[in-house]
Structure 1
Amino acid sequence: MIISYLPECQIEWGKRGVREAANRGDIVIIVDVLSFSSTVVTGLNYGAIIYPYPPHLNGKAYAQSLGAQYILGRAEAARLGAPTLSPVTFNHSHDRQKYVLSSLNGAFCTWIASHIPALFIGSLLNASSVASAANQLSASLNANITVVPCGELWNGVKEFEDSLRPAMEDYLGAGAILSRIEGKRSAEVQVCIGAFQYSKSTLSRLIWECTSGVELRERGFEKDVKHCSRLNIYQTVPILKNQHFSEYTTTI
């Protein structure tokens, strides 16, 4: 009797968590709802070519070497009318344009796990589609799946304090994806799925009122919060290949 491979699915937090998943050789789904993941999914939906890059390295020089545009901070980009970490700044005019995107959480986590067989970007926007892609690839590679909510970073961290600030929106985004992942679910995964299912009917309000959502709204980015809280509006699934994100197809 032939027994098909049943993958294990896990959840790990932040940069340390993604390193653990990468060391295991898992398929990884990075989740940074506000806003790296949502920006990558939206940008790729409009045909943009996005190169993730960690913020502690020289992203501007890297962009120059690629003939790409370095994505600026939200405020600076808004003044120039350029695309930024704000997902709503991308549109059809950015089709086939190259961009280098740095961020403290999502881009950094992507860089840590860039050597693994498959790294996807997931968000609420593409939760069902990225789960389906991970299921397909897991069956093909006989690989386990780890979903990584990136979280935020505390400011003013003192010695011996943790810098990771778990983010509710990333946890709910991870739950939306994990609810569609096939395989053996860890206890942590089961709880995460439960949190999403309990919150699904009030998802937009919860993300509007969460700490990260309030911080963005206070800076004038209400449209970002509304956009990023929408569930399953895109079928676009970014996968990291050749240092940039391509749209996943079953032929990859």
Structure 2
Amino acid sequence: MTDAFDRAHTQAGHRVRLEWGPTGAAAIAGPADVAVVVDVLSFTTTLVVALDRGTTVHPYRWKDERAAAHAAEHDAVLAVGRLGARHGRAGTSLSPAALAALAAADVPERLVLPSPNGSTICSGLADRGCAVVGACLRNAAAVAAWLAPRVAGGATVAVVAAGERWPDDTLRPAVEDLWGAGAVLAALADAVGPGALSPEAAHAAAAYRAVAGTLHESLLACASGAELVDRGFADDVRVAAETDVSTVVPLLVDGAFRPAPAR
């Protein structure tokens, strides 16, 4: 790539940017002050539910054999996959509905939460020198309110829609992450003005505004939502569709997500 091509793909002319997946995150987050990772179904939704319940969350790469040792090192519970929990494997799962339904006594104090998309991206961003925030529909307005004074002060923001994976492990852009990113970006544009947004970010904001009135139905009908419904996890889609019910802003510090301190 030429230097000009590199610069174009960082969206460097705009303070608020949007890209997809791990490669997109690397392209736009390196020169940014804040990276906002969005994985609606379901890492960042589970993350927000966990923090609202008082749990500290350690993101971790998916299918990494060192995850159990990492959990033991931090005296944390290692989350299991949805299907593993259903088939009798003990432990807290990636399912946000299952986590929300836990009795208070069963909510873990610390949770290592691997996922193939959002958690893996967060882990990859941890060493890039930018603040890393988790966002979904549940906390979109709170994240935008946290970002607004920073953008107004000149900070740059990289919003990363996690997407999903095809069977050959290539990126599948996932419309639910476009909508989740767009919810943050639409609220941020309302606060700081649309001129800060790159065309990619503005497109996501417009996509969210177009679907906001039918969000639950649209999440159930989209490919990722329909897949979860078919597997018996419709409640996860319902929890993910609950918009602006949380004020928590998950901030990654020293390898763990905790609520960002109030300004």
Aligned to 1:126, which of 139, 144, 147?
A: 139
The answer to whether the 8 A contact 1:47-1:94 is kept is no
The Cα offsets for residues 65-100 of structure 1, whole Å up to 9 and x where unpaired, read as 111111011122243563211011224335561111
C-alpha distance in 1 between matches for 2:123 and 2:151 = 21
1:85 maps onto 2:87 in alignment: no
Task: Give the partner amino acid of 1:112.
Answer: G
Residue correspondence of structure 1 range 1-252 to structure 2 within 5 A = 8-57=15-64, 58-78=66-86, 79=88, 82-91=91-100, 92-94=104-106, 97-115=109-127, 116-139=129-152, 142-156=154-168, 163-181=170-188, 182=192, 184-251=196-263
1:4 — aligned with what? none
Task: Give the partner amino acid of 2:214.
Answer: T
Identity in percent: 32
Number of aligned residue pairs: 240
The Cα offsets for residues 115-146 of structure 1, whole Å up to 9 and x where unpaired, read as 33311100000000011112234456x32011
Are the structure 2 counterparts of residues 94 and 136 from structure 1 closer, same or farther at C-alpha, using a change threshold of 3 Å? farther
CA drift at 1:23: 1.5
TM-score, structure 1 normalization: 0.89
The answer to whether the 8 A contact 1:46-1:94 is kept is no
CA drift at 1:107: 0.6
C-alpha distance in 2 between matches for 1:137 and 1:90 = 32
CA drift at 1:38: 0.1
CA drift at 1:193: 1.1
The answer to whether the 8 A contact 1:27-1:138 is kept is no
C-alpha distance in 2 between matches for 1:156 and 1:149 = 19
Name structure 1 gaps, 5 residues minimum.
1-6, 158-162
CA drift at 1:25: 3.0
Are the structure 2 counterparts of residues 98 and 82 from structure 1 closer, same or farther at C-alpha, using a change threshold of 3 Å? same
Are the structure 2 counterparts of residues 93 and 137 from structure 1 closer, same or farther at C-alpha, using a change threshold of 3 Å? farther
> CA RMSD for the aligned pairs?
1.9
The answer to whether the 8 A contact 1:48-1:94 is kept is no
Task: Give the partner amino acid of 1:74.
Answer: R
C-alpha distance in 2 between matches for 1:136 and 1:89 = 35
Runs of 4+ in 1 over 6 A off after TM superposition: none
C-alpha distance in 1 between matches for 2:161 and 2:29 = 14
SS in 2 for 1:90: helix
C-alpha distance in 1 between matches for 2:213 and 2:90 = 35
TM-score, structure 2 normalization: 0.86
Name structure 2 gaps, 5 residues minimum.
1-13
Task: Give the partner amino acid of 1:54.
Answer: R
C-alpha distance in 1 between matches for 2:168 and 2:257 = 33
Where is the helix percentage greater, Structure 1 or Structure 2?
2
